[in-house]
């Protein structure tokens, strides 16, 4: 008897030691899967539930393998991308057979795996729930949902139902614990915007509460920013189906910037369709990231990483994270004295503006206009091995202090835009950007570039009118880097980087002025 007790004690003791080794204290293991979704060959054609389920089950077979693989590596939560199960490019009618009924998890406690017959048209939810239950893992996935509505409801669509782009979250028991309906649809004519903004949190035993939002939501105040500010969440799960657009909105580039800007962790899963420019997933903290971006391979990718429950803040915020009131001091005396010096002009530059710039700093900085991200940016060329530049538009002035460490035949420019962006969505941005141009002529500045050879030390800052600044730092071949310094200094937001061993493609301060949308 005694012996048996001590065996039990020994066993328990060993188990505790073993599990402590698996999960470092204050850490958890997260997984995201970039999924090359099997798409309907003709999403515009009408089909039936049977055919829809057949297609979705093929994607779910892959999900199942990934859940098992993630759990084997100790993952406690796994995130799958937007549109990963059903695909995209449907009409309101053709997506209907793919839609499931998703009850509100706050009003009904439901485990679809254990109680499959409670609601009809829930085959996908049942499979997802069983995956979570069997592998004892929290699971986040995106589906299409239908919800009947009353004709008396003034917002009810004429066909008597809402259709929502919906994220579902299951706990490690397979219980449905959260449902988020996408707020900022990206030209998804198959779906409705929810009648009220969903502000959704769910709780986990390993990392506390998580917030959730989807794809295009990342650019807007509701619900992403409200969620973070109001509920002080430190973890976000983020299913997305993101088409990359350089130089400012590549998936991994912006996901990292979001984590840094809000001092949070974000688990981002994208779908993988390189021919459509869709790739870029990762597990991000403000200081470290584990990413996948691959335009060559057709394969998906499971990323598993152990991260801290309380993200460590960026070590070197310049002064304070909170935007201070209006004062008119410059961040540093050196920054105020803007003058061009030490010009080493390339042949082409000498032919155009550089000589003039050397003669008269004030007047002759050769401003030119070029389209970047469909916006009319004002640029000044980055000339010579080092210098200080300034360019303004509307109420935003951008400043750059730079030193080129390698002499290469590459043109860079400092650009500014302060205005309403109106192509592929309407939103107000204030941007200061140091970009590598597509070629050697000014008109190529703002083009999509992903490779560079130049090593550049820089300080970039601007007098933004919004406190929401997303710091982008993209190096050659879509590699991310981290700034040395970041944050507010008086009324300027500043980013600096020196001594990087990678070549610079884009360094930008992407400000979102939500009130002016
Ligand atoms: C979906 O639509 C986009 C834009 O219209 C198009 O470029 C793309 O080829 C379509 N993709 C599929 C898989 O149908
Ligand atoms: C999981 O389900 C089991 C059995 O129904 C129950 O005893 C347990 O409390 C549940 N755990 C959670 C976290 O819901
Ligand atoms: C960032 O978050 C950590 C906790 O995760 C906190 O200790 C730190 O103060 C935060 N930093 C900023 C600048 O908000
Ligand atoms: C860009 O803005 C500048 C300055 O406002 C203006 O002169 C120019 O015509 C604009 N270019 C385009 C293509 O709109
Ligand atoms: C930014 O600086 C410029 C130049 O000093 C000034 O004209 C502009 O009003 C400033 N903007 C803000 C918001 O203070």
The pLDDT of residue 287 is 87
Q: How far is the CA of 54 from the centre of ligand 1 (A)?
A: 21
Residue 21 has what pLDDT? 42
The residue whose CA has the least distance to atom 3 of ligand 5 is 397
Closest listed residue to residue 383, CA positions, set 359, 354, 361, 408: 354
Q: Is 397 in the pocket of ligand 5 (CB under 6 A)?
A: yes
What are 212-263's pLDDT values in tens digits? 999 999 999 999 999 999 999 999 999 999 999 999 999 999 999 999 999 9
Q: Determine the average pLDDT of the residues in 482-502.
A: 95
Ligand 5: does its nearest atom lie under 6 Å from the Cβ of 395?
Answer: yes
Query: Residue 127 CB: number of other CB atoms within 10 A?
Result: 22
Question: How far, in Å, CA of 365 to CA of 358, rounded?
Answer: 9
Average pLDDT over residues 282-307: 96
Q: Residue holding tokens 């982008």? A: 472
Atom of ligand 4 nearest to the CA of 369: 1
Identify the pLDDT of residue 25.
Answer: 86
**Ligand showing the shortest atom-to-Cα distance for residue 310:** 3
The residue among 228, 207, 231 whose CA lies nearest residue 305 is: 207
**Ligand 5 pocket check: which of 395, 416, 511 to mutate, most ligand atoms within 8 Å of Cβ?**
395
Active-site pick, 146, 182, 301, 386: 182
pLDDT digits (tens, 9 = 90+) for 319-360: 544 443 333 333 343 433 333 322 333 333 333 333 333 334
Whole-angstrom Cα distance, residue 200 to residue 177?
10
Q: Does 394 contact ligand 4 (Cβ within 6 A)? A: no
Q: What is the pLDDT of residue 492?
A: 97
Which residue from 366, 367, 368, 369 has its CB within 8 A of the most atoms of ligand 4, so it is best to mutate?
369
Q: Give the pLDDT mean for 500-505.
A: 96
pTM as predicted: 0.89
Ligand 1 centroid – CA 35 distance (Å): 17
- Whether the predicted pLDDT of 475 surpasses 90: yes
How confident is the model at residue 169, as a pLDDT? 98
Q: Is 82 assigned a catalytic role?
A: yes
Mean per-residue pLDDT, 166-174: 98
Q: Can you list the pairs that 101-105 forms with residues at least 24 positions away whose Cβ atoms lie under 8 Å?
A: 101/145, 101/146, 101/147, 102/143, 102/145, 102/147, 102/166, 102/168, 102/176, 102/179, 103/176, 103/179, 104/179, 105/176, 105/177, 105/178, 105/179
Write down the pLDDT at residue 369.
Answer: 98
Ligand 5 atom 2: the closest Cα is on which residue? 397
Residue 66 has pLDDT above 50, yes or no: yes
pLDDT band per the 50, 70, 90 thresholds, residue 314: low
- The pLDDT assigned to 22 comes to 59
pLDDT digits (tens, 9 = 90+) for 363-375: 457 999 999 999 9
| For ligand 1, atom 3: residue with the closest CA | 89
Distance 173 CA to ligand 2 centre (A): 6
Q: Is residue 49 over pLDDT 90?
A: yes
- Report the percent of the chain where pLDDT is more than 70: 86
- Per residue in 414-433, pLDDT (tens digit) is 999 999 999 999 999 999 99
Q: Ligand 2 centroid to 172 CA: how many Å?
A: 9
Per the residue annotation, which of 34, 113, 130, 215 is the catalytic one? 215
Task: State if residue 39 touches ligand 1 by the CB under 6 angstroms criterion.
Answer: yes
The residue nearest atom 9 of ligand 5, judged by CA position, is 395
Residue in the block written with tokens 């001091």 = 329
* pLDDT in the model for residue 316: 54
Residue of 34, 82, 100, 253 with catalytic role: 82
326 is catalytic: no
CB count within 10 Å of CB 416 equals 23
| DSSP β-bridge partners for residue 235 | 210, 265
Substitution site in 313, 314, 483 for ligand 3 pocket (most atoms within 8 Å of beta carbon):
313
Choose one of 112, 113, 173, 176 to mutate for the ligand 2 pocket test, by most ligand atoms within 8 angstroms of C-beta.
173
CA 290 – CA 320 distance, rounded (Å): 27
pLDDT at residue 59 is higher than 90: yes
CB 291 within 8 A of CB 282: yes
Please give the number of the atom of ligand 5 that sits closest to the Cα of 462: 1
Q: Mutation test of ligand 3: which of 208, 258, 260, 263 has the most ligand atoms closer than 8 Å to its C-beta?
A: 263
pLDDT at 317: 55
pLDDT of residue 342: 29
CA of 122 to the centre of ligand 1 (A): 27
* Residue of minimum CA distance from atom 14 in ligand 4: 376
pLDDT classification of 315: cutoffs 50, 70, 90: low
Helix axes 49-72, 123-135, angle to 10 degrees: 10
**Residue boundaries of the structural domains of the chain:** 23-312, 317-516
User: H/E element holding 294?
Assistant: none
The answer to whether residue 156 is catalytic is no
| Among the bound ligands, the one closest to the CA of 326 | 5
Distance 241 CA to ligand 4 centre (A): 33
Q: What count of other Cβ atoms lies within 10 Å of the Cβ of residue 322?
A: 9
Indicate whether residue 173 lines ligand 2 (CB < 6 A). Answer: yes
pLDDT of residue 197: 97
Q: Which ligand is nearest to the CA of 177?
A: 2
Would you state the pLDDT for residue 506? 98
What mean pLDDT value characterizes the chain?
89
Q: Which atom of ligand 1 is nearest the CA belonging to 43?
A: 14
Atom 7 (ligand 1) nearest CA: 276
3-state class (DSSP) for residue 464:
coil
Token duo for residue 434:
């140091």
Question: Does the pLDDT value for residue 198 go beyond 50?
Answer: yes
- Give me ligand 5 centre to Cα 337, in Å: 16
Which positions ≥6 away from 250 have C-beta within 8 Å? Answer: 244, 280, 293, 474, 478
The pLDDT assigned to 151 comes to 85
Write the pLDDT tens digit of every residue in 94-148: 999 999 999 999 999 999 999 999 999 999 999 999 999 999 999 999 999 999 9
CATH number of the domain at 23-312, out of 1.10.540.10, 3.40.50.970, 3.60.110.10, 3.40.50.300? Answer: 3.60.110.10
Rg (the chain; Cα; Å): 25
CA–centroid distance, 366 to ligand 4, in Å, is: 15
Cβ(166) – ligand 5 distance below 6 Å: no
Q: What is the pLDDT of residue 318?
A: 53
């Amino acid at each position: 008897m005694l012996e048996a007790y001590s065996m039990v004690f020994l066993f328990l003791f060993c188990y505790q030691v073993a599990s402590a080794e698996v999960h470092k204290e204050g850490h958890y293991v997260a997984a995201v899967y970039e999924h090359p979704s099997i798409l309907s060959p003709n999403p515009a054609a009408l089909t039936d539930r049977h055919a829809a389920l057949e297609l979705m089950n093929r994607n779910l077979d892959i999900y199942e393998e990934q859940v098992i693989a993630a759990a084997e590596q100790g993952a406690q939560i796994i995130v799958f991308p937007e549109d990963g199960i059903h695909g995209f490019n449907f009409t309101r009618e053709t997506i209907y057979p793919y839609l499931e009924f998703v009850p509100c998890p706050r009003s009904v406690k439901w485990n679809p795996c254990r109680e499959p017959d409670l609601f009809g048209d829930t085959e996908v939810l049942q499979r997802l729930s069983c995956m979570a239950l069997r592998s004892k893992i929290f699971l986040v996935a995106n589906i299409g949902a239908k919800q009947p509505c009353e004709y008396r409801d003034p917002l009810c669509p004429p066909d008597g139902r809402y259709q929502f782009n919906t994220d579902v979250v299951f706990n490690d028991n397979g219980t449905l614990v959260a449902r988020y309906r996408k707020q900022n649809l990206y030209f998804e004519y198959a779906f409705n915007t929810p009648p009220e903004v969903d502000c959704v949190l769910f709780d986990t035993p390993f990392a506390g509460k998580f917030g959730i939002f989807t794809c295009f939501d990342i650019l807007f105040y509701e619900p992403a920013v409200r969620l973070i500010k109001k509920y002080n969440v430190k973890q976000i799960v983020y299913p997305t189906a993101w088409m990359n657009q350089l130089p400012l909105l590549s998936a991994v580039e912006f996901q990292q910037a979001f984590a840094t800007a809000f001092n949070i962790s974000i688990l981002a899963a994208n779908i993988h369709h390189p021919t459509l420019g869709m790739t870029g997933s990762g597990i991000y903290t403000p200081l470290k990231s584990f990413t996948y971006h691959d335009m060559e391979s057709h394969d998906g990718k499971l990323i598993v990483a152990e991260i801290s429950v309380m993200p460590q803040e960026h070590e070197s915020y310049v002064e304070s994270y909170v935007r201070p009131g209006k004062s008119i001091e410059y961040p540093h005396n050196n920054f105020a004295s803007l003058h061009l010096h030490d010009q080493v002009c390339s042949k082409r530059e000498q032919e155009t503006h550089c000589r003039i710039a050397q003669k008269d700093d004030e007047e002759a900085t050769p401003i030119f206009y070029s389209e970047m991200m469909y916006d009319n940016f004002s640029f000044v060329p980055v000339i010579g091995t080092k210098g200080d530049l300034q360019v303004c538009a509307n109420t935003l002035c951008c400043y750059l202090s730079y030193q080129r460490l390698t002499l290469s035949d590459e043109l860079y420019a400092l650009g500014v835009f302060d205005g309403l962006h109106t192509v592929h969505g309407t939103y107000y941005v204030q941007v200061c950007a140091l970009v590598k141009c597509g070629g050697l002529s000014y008109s190529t500045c703002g083009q999509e570039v992903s490779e560079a050879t130049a090593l550049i030390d820089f300080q970039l800052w601007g007098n933004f009118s919004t406190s929401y600044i997303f710091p982008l730092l993209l190096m050659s071949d879509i590699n991310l880097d981290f700034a040395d310094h970041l944050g507010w200094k008086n009324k300027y937001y500043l980013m600096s980087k020196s001594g990087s061993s990678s070549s610079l493609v884009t360094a930008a301060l992407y400000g979102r002025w939500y009130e002016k949308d």
